[in-house]
């Protein structure tokens, strides 16, 4: 147990699916799991452990932003002996060629923030996902005939539609990273995995576009995530 998680160590599986929204965690187990049990509800950050096609998995929400993801993923890796976390979430597109509802497999996450400096006094702003997990995700997507866009993403500290001068922020991103959009959690997840010698990956569904000024409703966002969720779950079956 930790100050943020009432689950016992044995309540948490070795592989965790991690959406941001607690209600999305609930949605995943209710719609995809064979059986499940609520193992954490501290601060309303629901965690469920159960089985998907016979594989024991945990689904736990991370909350929004790097600080929240940082706490929950660090504790899962460090104190619950979790080996792998796959984030499933949403993102906004900065590239006009990226369409709504595309599924993004994040190869690397870049931040202008100082999460790494705060955690370990290391001036790092770009960190990559685990190649082994990403390779399995690609195989599963191919088997399911789901097209993935592999790309680097920005991990911002503000919800990008609220950023007053988004063009100035985008210009600060390294050109060689070819960043196509943004979300708010992946850097903290990937960096924690790097520091603790664990595995992390991130799948994202594009739900809005800054340049094309398009967005989905909350209901559409929820329903559009199913393909991504299935890919993550099927990948978990293949991971040891």
Tell me the torsion sign for CA atoms 114, 115, 119, 120. Answer: negative
Q: Is residue 3 part of a domain?
A: no
Q: What is the pLDDT of residue 223?
A: 61
Instruction: Catalytic residue, from 34, 167, 208, 220: name it.
Output: 208
Q: Is residue 188 part of a domain?
A: yes
Q: What is the pLDDT of residue 215?
A: 67
Residue 219 has pLDDT above 80, yes or no: no
Q: Which residues pair with 208 in a beta bridge?
A: 92, 215
Q: Does 223 or 234 have the greater pLDDT score?
A: 234
Active site residue 208: yes
Q: Is residue 211 part of a domain?
A: yes
pLDDT tens, residue by residue, 4-17: 878 899 999 999 99
pLDDT tens, residue by residue, 131-188: 999 999 999 999 999 999 999 999 999 988 888 888 888 899 999 999 999 999 999 9
Q: Is residue 108 part of a domain?
A: yes
CB 136 within 8 A of CB 155: no
Q: Which residues pair with 9 in a beta bridge?
A: none
Nearest to 94, CA basis, from 148, 153, 7: 153
Q: What is the pLDDT of residue 161?
A: 80
Instruction: Read off the CATH number of the domain in which 152 is found.
Output: 3.40.50.1580
Give Cα separations from 26 to 19, 37, 86 (angstroms).
10, 10, 16
pLDDT tens, residue by residue, 51-65: 999 999 999 999 999
pLDDT-derived band at 42 (thresholds 50, 70, 90) equals confident
Q: Is residue 226 part of a domain?
A: yes
pLDDT-derived band at 240 (thresholds 50, 70, 90) equals confident
Q: What is the pLDDT of residue 105?
A: 98
Average pLDDT over residues 113-118: 96
CA–CA–CA angle 183, 157, 16 (5° rounding): 50
pLDDT-derived band at 222 (thresholds 50, 70, 90) equals low
Nearest to 88, CA basis, from 234, 240, 238: 234
Q: Is residue 209 part of a domain?
A: yes
Q: Is residue 83 part of a domain?
A: yes
Q: What is the pLDDT of residue 43?
A: 92
pLDDT tens, residue by residue, 132-143: 999 999 999 999
Residue 221 has pLDDT above 90, yes or no: no
Which domain, by its residues, includes 141?
9-238
pLDDT-derived band at 99 (thresholds 50, 70, 90) equals confident
Q: Is residue 4 part of a domain?
A: no
Looking at the 3D structure of the chain, how many domains does it have?
Answer: 1
């Amino acid at each position: 147990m930790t100050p943020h998680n009432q689950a016992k160590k044995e309540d948490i599986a070795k592989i965790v699916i991690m959406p941001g929204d607690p209600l999305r965690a609930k949605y995943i187990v209710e719609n995809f799991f064979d059986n499940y049990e609520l193992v954490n509800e501290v601060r309303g950050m629901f965690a469920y452990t159960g089985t998907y096609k016979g594989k024991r998995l945990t689904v736990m929400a991370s909350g929004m932003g790097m600080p929240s993801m940082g706490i929950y993923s660090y504790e899962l890796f460090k104190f619950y002996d979790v080996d792998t976390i796959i984030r499933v979430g949403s993102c906004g597109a900065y590239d006009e060629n990226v369409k709504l509802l595309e599924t993004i497999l994040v190869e690397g996450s870049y931040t202008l923030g100082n999460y790494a400096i705060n955690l370990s006094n290391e001036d790092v702003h770009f960190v990559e996902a685990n190649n082994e997990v990403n390779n399995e995700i690609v195989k599963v997507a191919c088997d399911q005939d789901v097209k993935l866009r592999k790309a680097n993403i920005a991990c911002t500290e503000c919800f990008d539609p609220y950023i007053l001068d988004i063009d100035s922020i985008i210009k600060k991103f390294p050109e060689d990273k070819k960043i196509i959009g943004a979300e708010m959690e992946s850097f903290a997840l990937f960096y924690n995995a790097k520091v603790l010698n664990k595995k992390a990956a991130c799948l994202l569904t594009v739900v809005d576009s800054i340049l094309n000024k398009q967005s989905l409703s909350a209901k559409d966002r929820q329903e559009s995530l199913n393909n991504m969720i299935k890919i993550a779950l099927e990948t978990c079956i293949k991971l040891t």
